[in-house]
Structure 1
Amino acid sequence: MKPAPSAPPPAQYPPLQVALIGYGGAGRIFHAPLIAGVPGLQLACIVTRQTDAVQRDWPAVSCVASVSAALADPAIDLVVIATPNASHFELAQAALQAGKHVVMDKPCTVTLTETETLLDLACQQGRVLTVFQNRRFDSDFLALQQVIQSGQLGRVVQLDSHFDRYRPTVPTRWREQNLPGSGLWFDLGPHLVDQSLVLFGRPDALLLEQASVRDDALVNDWFHAVLRYDTRHGSLRVILHASTLVAEPGPRWVVHGTRGSLTKFGLDVQEDALKTGQRPQLDALDNWGQDPQPGQLLRMENIPGVTTPVSVRMAAPNPAGNYLAYYAQLRDHLWGLQPEPGVTPAQVHAVMQLLTLGEQSAASGRFVVVPPAKP
């Protein structure tokens, strides 16, 4: 995926006016600076009670106390919902009924039925409903896509995706409470599932195990999922794993194929940069998103005169990550320059379906079959 181009001439494509609902971690760290960093998007208002924080961070942006006031504004084109998961459905429904396009912070909703209802409503209203899948633009994931598509690993037979952290103290926040849509599976699961779908499409079956490993944990803070691909990719297994109690993380990615392996340590640097208050600009990225720790390839190559393949080590590609590209893709679609938003309705549905099937698998302790996509 290449970063989206800079904005076309403003006279031809007027800026899209964006309302951000919620100014907690997701809204403050991710959405506000990314929206503001994309030419052609105008962060018009933020719906929050944290007026002092908004005035400090974005003095030129209006702070609105109520959702209804933002939705009633005819100038608003796009609504970004960055609120607790259980509120997503009601807010998105209201925004769509008000004629707005909607970006939902992941996950879309807390049930598949709610997501299907919203997708149907968006279709009826002729509006876009999409989900913020910024980790499609992690540096390591962009590199992984390049390596797999190049065929350097041959046929991929196993992929391990680990997103581990060391957070031994359970914080006081809604994600850690026993509420619908809480827990690590609904927090990091949407990212890892979406990346798997981008790489390989829908699996044939899914197995999920969840656990609460920290003292005083009220919800799952550890998960291990196995996605089984038999019909489209031969005998491929994709392993998705996340934990809050890993003091010494192993590789972020390990990929094995018939011709070699890829190993990548370290997480993408963009989240930490945003947490420090950095504000990237799409038309002046400089060294934004550059990974200091590229992955390593080990390829088995046939050497003339040598009877057995010889292992050759080399650095993997190291493209820069670019979360701004998510919003640039959406902007181009809303301007009519691209036929689809970056994250399509079918992809929104597929991620929510696998999250739901994962919960069913965890409850039964068995693989569950993934039904084919709706025509």
Structure 2
Amino acid sequence: MSVIRTAIIGFGTAGRVFHAPLVAADPHYALSAIVTGSPERERAARHSYPQTDILADTDALFASAREFDLVVIASPNDSHAPLARAALEAGTHVVIDKPIAVTAAGAREITTAAREAGRVLTVFQNRRWDGDFLTLRDVIARGRLGEVRQFDSAFEWWQPDTGTGWKDLAGPDQGGGVLYDLGPHLIDQALQLFGEVTDIHAERDRRRPDSRSDDDSFLTLRHVSGVRTRLWMSTVAPAPRPRFRVSGSRAVFRSHGLDPQEAQSIAGRRPGETGFGLHDDGRAAVVEDPQGTQNVPLHAGDYREFYRRLAAALREGGPLPVDPNDSIRALEIIEEAIRQTR
């Protein structure tokens, strides 16, 4: 495989802000096609990627599937599993934007289908390459916090009115709501850091009168390792909590603000440009212990690593950037949270 001919289904936030810029920035890939049924998004795609074919629907894509090696599914959540099956049946490898599916059973079916088809299937858990998360992993690995006891992680913003996009209009059975939107990120990070979970407690609320799904949710997880995780996710937070607050036997780690890569991409900056992935204000995390507080420089976030690792997997048989079973486990936790709060 010389260059990985790639088609992206969907040109909303996931396709436009994340996948298309990352694929276009990596010399191992060719951004060969974008599928969108929206005239406005079609115009935006043609403007940003004039050498890329813009297709109106997936029928056109799968009719010419032999022209592609990889299909990236960046469409609404309830379409992930059906489109993944169609792509696998057409003979392509598949990237699914999180969540891998709406149900764990559906996710297991498509991973089985990928294995039987002899095709690669992976999940875009890009938050593994957030700069603050990379910094936290390094701090923990160096033992600066001692024995980690409590992991607090929050992903919150202020959007007091419901929007007109599918994330606000979809019900829980369609993968709508903040738990399906942000939970796959926060849960995946917790599992990556601290391993398997034995106990789950969930709270889900609809704070906006016209919300169809949860817009303010909370999870606590008890890990086999003994760490307790607390996860906040909200679209109605007038002011956010710290992004991370991690308590250990020796010190506490804190960081504030979301990784800048999404905002930078929306602003028109591109992966690989000078300063991409770093906060423009030069902010740092802090480690605080009884002797005082020390600033910890934040690593640069780098979502390009996902596609670098995928290229190695496709071309050389290297490990996947994300094992789909990790995403299935996170989805099982989400399903348990929903069961508790119906």
TM-score, normalised on structure 2?
0.94
* SS of equivalent residue, structure 1 residue 240: strand
* Contact 1:17-1:42 at 8 Å conserved across structures: yes
Equivalent position of 1:354 in the other structure: 333
Q: Is 1:313 equivalent to 2:304 in the alignment?
A: no
* Contact 2:270-2:276 at 8 Å conserved across structures: no
Q: Determine which of 121, 127, 130 is the counterpart of 2:122.
A: 130
Q: Is 1:193 equivalent to 2:187 in the alignment?
A: yes
Q: Is 1:210 equivalent to 2:204 in the alignment?
A: yes
Alpha-carbon distance in 2 for matches of 1:258, 1:54: 50
Which digits, 9 at most, give the CA deviation of each residue in 1:40-93, with x for residues without a partner?
A: 011000111333222111111011123133223313010001111111111110
* Contact 1:289-1:322 at 8 Å conserved across structures: yes
Alpha-carbon distance in 1 for matches of 2:284, 2:222: 28
* SS of equivalent residue, structure 1 residue 188: helix
Alpha-carbon distance in 1 for matches of 2:195, 2:316: 26
* Contact 2:178-2:214 at 8 Å conserved across structures: yes
Between the aligned residues of both structures, percent identity stands at 38
Alpha-carbon distance in 2 for matches of 1:228, 1:116: 24
Give the C-alpha shift of residue 337 in structure 1.
5.3
* Equivalence map 1:202-351=2 (5 Å): 202-229=196-223, 231=224, 233-234=225-226, 236-281=227-272, 285-291=273-279, 292-300=282-290, 311-336=291-316, 338=318, 340-351=319-330
Alpha-carbon distance in 2 for matches of 1:267, 1:65: 34
- Aligned residue-pair number: 334
Alpha-carbon distance in 1 for matches of 2:72, 2:107: 16
Alpha-carbon distance in 2 for matches of 1:134, 1:127: 21
Alpha-carbon distance in 2 for matches of 1:55, 1:295: 40
Give the C-alpha shift of residue 216 in structure 1.
2.0
Q: Is 1:47 equivalent to 2:35 in the alignment?
A: yes
* Contact 2:184-2:327 at 8 Å conserved across structures: no
* SS of equivalent residue, structure 2 residue 107: helix
Give the C-alpha shift of residue 147 in structure 1.
0.8
Which digits, 9 at most, give the CA deviation of each residue in 1:226-251, with x for residues without a partner?
A: 0012x3x23x2100101112222221
| Letter paired with 1:258 | S
Alpha-carbon distance in 2 for matches of 1:293, 1:247: 21
* Contact 1:206-1:361 at 8 Å conserved across structures: no
Alpha-carbon distance in 1 for matches of 2:115, 2:284: 41
* Contact 2:244-2:255 at 8 Å conserved across structures: yes
Alpha-carbon distance in 1 for matches of 2:34, 2:137: 35
Alpha-carbon distance in 1 for matches of 2:292, 2:145: 12
Alpha-carbon distance in 1 for matches of 2:169, 2:121: 27
* SS of equivalent residue, structure 1 residue 30: helix
Which digits, 9 at most, give the CA deviation of each residue in 1:302-326, with x for residues without a partner?
A: xxxxxxxxx2321124210011111
Alpha-carbon distance in 1 for matches of 2:234, 2:294: 30
Equivalent position of 1:15 in the other structure: 3
Alpha-carbon distance in 1 for matches of 2:259, 2:123: 20
Equivalent position of 1:139 in the other structure: 131
* SS of equivalent residue, structure 2 residue 66: coil
| Letter paired with 1:216 | D
Q: Determine which of 74, 97, 100 is the counterpart of 2:66.
A: 74
Alpha-carbon distance in 1 for matches of 2:71, 2:235: 32
Alpha-carbon distance in 1 for matches of 2:187, 2:27: 30
Q: Determine which of 83, 98, 106 is the counterpart of 1:91.
A: 83
* Contact 1:36-1:43 at 8 Å conserved across structures: yes
* Contact 2:6-2:31 at 8 Å conserved across structures: yes
Which digits, 9 at most, give the CA deviation of each residue in 1:281-318, with x for residues without a partner?
A: 3xxx4221113221100134xxxxxxxxxx23211242
| Letter paired with 1:238 | T
Alpha-carbon distance in 2 for matches of 1:226, 1:237: 7
Q: Which 4+ residue blocks in structure 1 deviate beyond 4 angstroms?
A: none
Which digits, 9 at most, give the CA deviation of each residue in 1:252-293, with x for residues without a partner?
A: 111100011011111111110011121223xxx422111322
| Letter paired with 1:251 | P
TM-score, normalised on structure 1?
0.86
* SS of equivalent residue, structure 1 residue 330: helix
| Letter paired with 2:304 | L
* Contact 1:147-1:317 at 8 Å conserved across structures: no
* Contact 2:150-2:246 at 8 Å conserved across structures: yes
Q: CA RMSD in A?
A: 1.4
* SS of equivalent residue, structure 1 residue 254: strand
| Letter paired with 1:57 | S
More helix by share: 2
Give the C-alpha shift of residue 345 in structure 1.
2.6
Which digits, 9 at most, give the CA deviation of each residue in 1:153-189, with x for residues without a partner?
A: 0111101001110111111111112431000000000
Alpha-carbon distance in 1 for matches of 2:208, 2:283: 30
* SS of equivalent residue, structure 1 residue 357: helix
* Contact 1:130-1:348 at 8 Å conserved across structures: no
Q: Determine which of 16, 23, 26 is the counterpart of 2:14.
A: 26
* Contact 2:152-2:246 at 8 Å conserved across structures: yes
* SS of equivalent residue, structure 2 residue 302: coil
